[in-house]
Amino acid sequence: MPEGKIMKALSGFYYVKTADDIYQCRGRGLFRKKKVTPLVGDNVVFDIQENKDGYITEIKERRNELKRPAVANIDQAIIVVSAKEPDFSTLLLDRFLILVETNDIEPIIFISKVDVLSSREFEAIQDYQTIYREIGYKVEMISVKDDRDLDQLSDYFTNRISVIAGQSGVGKSSLLNRLNSNLNIETNEISTSLGRGKHTTRHVELVDIYQGLVADTPGFSSLEFETLELEALASCFPEMKERQQDCKFRGCLHVKEPKCAIKQAVEANDIAKFRYEHYLQFYQEIQNRKPRY
């Protein structure tokens, strides 16, 4: 039976691409019984019926998967955050980074809408860019109106499968439309009353960008740490992970423990204070999370 990759999921149908065609498929009932849902990015085996319709019979083993957005086998996650409208938020950015880090996917940060900044605002965003780059993240400041900014992004996409994610209204669809003019992904302006965009994406789909594939996904309004455990949280902060072994006590959670290397690094400005404050906020959130049964 033929094999292919799920390129789009919409209304119970899965569009599977092979080397020479795309087939509209449904999932077998056995997946529902096993509580397994085919995801965009899955490599699958399928049985062709009439008129290029078929049924997915097997889902190959996944390298990784995300729940929101629902996509599998991703090489990297491109997190788009706006410099303005909506305002740049390190808290929201760090939430996305934690989600990506927990799934062992490489994160890349695009800061959009830098063309609307004043010189002082631009310098402030540059300072944040420096902080995140020193942590080890790849960070690009871009404007979808500037062809030079877009041309420098091509190497990020070539021969890679990427998920592009971010808060509604940060310009994800505008970016994809500029990178591939054939897409015509619909976008809406920022709602002045809500302070966020009304993103019209309703499904996940892999689209061609610079000889790679990118999953355009519905926008997010919040991210919850549903499965992340307290003991694993610090490892999702690269600058904390590399210092954990220097704490005096094994199993240090970097909150109240004495001789904590993380807290010492914060005091010495080797770890950005706002990053540690976000760690504490996420720590409390996970600690107060209602148990699931």
- DSSP E strands, the chain: 3-10, 13-17, 22-27, 43-48, 53-59, 65-66, 71-72, 76-82, 106-112, 138-141, 161-165, 190-191, 196-197, 204-209, 212-216
Q: What percent of the chain has pLDDT over 70?
A: 89
- Mean pLDDT, the chain, whole residue set: 86
pLDDT of the residue at 223: 65
Does residue 290 or residue 10 have the better pLDDT? 10
Is the pLDDT at 291 greater than 60? The verdict is yes
pLDDT of the residue at 191: 33
Interatomic CA distance for residues 45 and 196, integer angstroms: 40
Query: What is the per-residue pLDDT across 55-110, written as a single tens digit (0 to 9) for each?
Result: 999 999 999 888 767 889 999 999 999 999 889 999 999 999 998 888 888 999 99
pLDDT of the residue at 216: 64
pLDDT of the residue at 198: 43
117: confidence class by pLDDT, cuts 50, 70, 90 = very high
| DSSP summary character for residue 3 | E
Does residue 29 or residue 283 have the better pLDDT? 283
pLDDT of the residue at 180: 79
The highest-confidence range among 137-141, 183-187, 192-196, 223-227, by mean pLDDT, is 137-141
What global pTM score does this model have?
Answer: 0.83
Tokens at 282, concatenated: 């996420």
Query: What is the per-residue pLDDT across 9-29, written as a single tens digit (0 to 9) for each?
Result: 988 899 999 988 999 998 887
Interatomic CA distance for residues 73 and 58, integer angstroms: 15
Domains along the chain?
3-61 (2.40.50.140), 66-216 (3.40.50.300), 230-287 (1.10.40.50)
202: confidence class by pLDDT, cuts 50, 70, 90 = low
Is the pLDDT at 218 greater than 90? The verdict is no
pLDDT of the residue at 292: 61
Q: Which region, left, alpha or beta, applies to residue 267 given φ > 0 means left and ψ of -120 to 50 means alpha?
A: alpha
Is the pLDDT at 125 greater than 50? The verdict is yes
Is the pLDDT at 187 greater than 70? The verdict is no
